[in-house]
Amino acid sequence: MTSFGFLIDNRKCIGCHACTVACKSEHEVPIGVDRTWVKYIEKGEFPNTRRMFTVMRCNHCEFAPCTTICPTTALYRRSDGIVDFNNERCIGCKACMQACPYDALYIDPETDTAAKCNFCTHRLEVGLEPSCVIVCPERAIVAGDLDDPVSEISRLMNRFPVQVRKPEKGTKPKLYYIDGDESALVPTAAKADGQYMWSGGPAMDGAASGSYGAGSMMTSVLDMAAAPPATSANTSVSRSAAAKFDPSPRRVYDVRPRKPIWGWAVVSYIWTKSIAAGGFLAAAAARFALGPENSTSLQIVLGAVAMFFLVVTGVLLVVDLKQPKRFLYVLLRPQWQSWLVRGAYIITAYGAVLTIWLAASILGRHRVADAMLWPGVILATLTAVYTAFLFAQAKGRDLWQNPMFSMHLMAHAVLGAGATWLLADVVAGRTPQWSATMLGIAVGFSLIALLAECFTVQPTDDARRAIHMILGKPMGGWFWGAGVVAGHIVPLLLLALTPGPLTAVAAVLALIGMGVIEWLWVSVPQRIPLS
């Protein structure tokens, strides 16, 4: 057996960035993205400070979550333990970036496909070491076979204690550090307060972070470290300010902050998918509550609403891909461990059953419609909740690992069912009786599920940090004001106090509140740094 891995000896690293430059040159990595980079952490209080350099890259995990979530086997683990990628199969779904706890993947701006460190396999296969190992002037980077007891990497690991990043994730990373420091290995351990360029805050002198080149960035940072504290009124940091620097660890150099990986398209897809599933659930509920004779036209309307939003959901899924022309790869080249694949087949099956049911209902083929009813209910339920299992595979985002997320999504599907049924009643001039009852139950269920998810004990610091951002600063106003009060409390009061057409306002507010909650749940966890 062969199992290749990396060892970073932090006792030797001088932060020269030779590994970053060699990697960019070897693989023609575009400007703005990196496979290997060096992170600077500073400790202490002036003049007694210490700066540490930590090389960051793919960990080539034994249980790599990026390969599990990848829907097309574009990412795969080789027999020698290296996690490699095939950009000809990549559809650009960005799920691998969410799955990686180490922030090692990026979308190549030239190919619109995922990429990362691949251990320089083209060099390895002809007996050469990775380019970063060759250029390191201090031999601080060691690569080799972890299963070979006489290899340099094995001998060093047997002689010295080593650390890995995020061992609690269970990925068994194969990037080891000698003398690794927690403030560098734990992304949130060192604060980023905007005092330094590319340290997570605004750039110095009011310039945008992206306007600096790597060379000028290094010169600026090293000059700042070597020079005495500034005293001129025209400089960015005065002596008094330098004397007040917090001695706690601080990030002073890093790569550009990344934008959220999943944005408006994913938020919209979850929202439309809830309505697409809820529309059919509402049609089934109307059939049993009103009887088949009295609900045929209503069922057709609700089925048409479900179909419309299902089509929109599919369009959003394709639009969010960086390689939309390859969207059929999910169905034609499936990697069955991925919930992207399973979800695609669930949605496809639901769409097929919904189409048959809707056509049979319109044509008066009631036996066919009845035969499709229960398969449709089951598939609509699966369509609503499968995203929770997909997000659970995104191991980089701890809040999404909450098992209550599936109940959250099911509650939103039921809420979508009640809202669409009530709006259909109002538009048709019917008294919203059953539909108002269903919406009231749905809103109550949604509120209970939401609060249960919020106040369930979060197992990790990152998950707790994300939920605190949602409930408090900076997003608490959106959560409590738009999500809870406007999206749940007000609709419940309207349903209880104002029966009749005005209940349509309750349905609209409930749908808007649902969208706000989905936006918060998708966007806020992506604000937690992974590296």
Strand ranges inside 141-221, DSSP E: 141-145, 162-163, 175-178
What's the confidence (pLDDT) of residue 239? 29
Ranges 123-127, 197-201, 259-263: which has the least confidence: 197-201
- In this prediction, residue 209 has a pLDDT band, given cuts at 50, 70 and 90, of very low
| Residue pLDDT, tens place only, 37-65 | 999 999 888 888 888 999 999 999 999 99
Q: Which of 28-32, 247-251, 375-379 has the highest mean pLDDT?
A: 375-379
pLDDT reading at 415 higher than 90 = yes
Fold adopted by 264-527? Formate dehydrogenase/DMSO reductase fold (1.20.1630)
Distance CA 61, CA 429 (A): 60
**Mean pLDDT of the chain, nearest integer:** 88
What is the average per-residue pLDDT within 463-489?
Answer: 95
* Tens-place pLDDT, residues 277-330: 999 999 999 999 998 888 899 999 999 999 999 999 999 999 999 999 999 999
Q: Give me the pLDDT at residue 247, please.
A: 63
Confidence at residue 431, expressed as pLDDT on a 0 to 100 scale: 83
Q: For position 203, what pLDDT does the model report?
A: 33
SS3 (DSSP) at 106: strand
497 — pLDDT class (breaks 50, 70, 90): confident
- The amino acid occupying position 132 is C
Question: 127-136, 190-199, 458-467: which has the minimum mean pLDDT?
Answer: 190-199
Q: Percentage of the chain with pLDDT > 90?
A: 77
pLDDT tier at 193 (50, 70, 90 boundaries)? low
CB neighbour class for 50 (10 Å; exposed up to 12, middle 13-18, buried from 19): exposed
Distance CA 468, CA 452 (A): 14
DSSP 190-212: SB--SSSTTTTSPPGGG--GGGS
pLDDT at 389 over 80: yes
CA dihedral 177, 245, 476, 414 (to 10 degrees): -10
Check whether 244 has a pLDDT greater than 70: no
Q: How confident is the model at residue 502 (pLDDT cuts 50, 70, 90)?
A: confident
Q: What is the pLDDT of residue 240?
A: 34
Domains 4-60+123-185 and 264-527 share a fold: no
Nearest to residue 521, comparing CAs of 417, 399, 418, 388? Answer: 399
74-88, pLDDT tens digit by residue?
A: 999 999 999 999 999
Q: Are 458 and 400 in contact (CB under 8 A)?
A: no
pLDDT at res. 435: 92
The pLDDT tens digits of the residues spanning 152-190 come to: 999 999 999 999 999 999 999 999 999 999 999 998 888
Q: Give the CA diameter of the chain.
A: 86
Q: Kind of pairing, strands 75-77 and 250-253?
A: unpaired
Domain boundaries, the chain: 4-60+123-185, 264-527
Beta partners for 4?
Answer: 145
Higher pLDDT, 255 or 389: 389
Q: pLDDT category, 498, cuts 50, 70, 90?
A: confident
Across the range 499-515, mean pLDDT stands at 91
User: Residue 501: what pLDDT?
Assistant: 73
Residues 469, 475 contacting (CB under 8 angstroms): yes
Give the position of tokens 């005005």: 502
What class is the 4-60+123-185 domain? alpha beta
Average pLDDT value for residue range 183-207: 65
Q: Which residue has the higher pLDDT, 309 or 256?
A: 309
- The answer to whether residue 225 scores a pLDDT higher than 70 is no
How much is the pLDDT for 192?
Answer: 76
pTM of this structure: 0.88
Q: Tell which residue, 424, 386, 387, has the closest CA to residue 308.
A: 424
pLDDT of 214 higher than 60: no
Asked which of 398-407, 424-433, 519-528 is least confident by mean pLDDT, the reply is 424-433
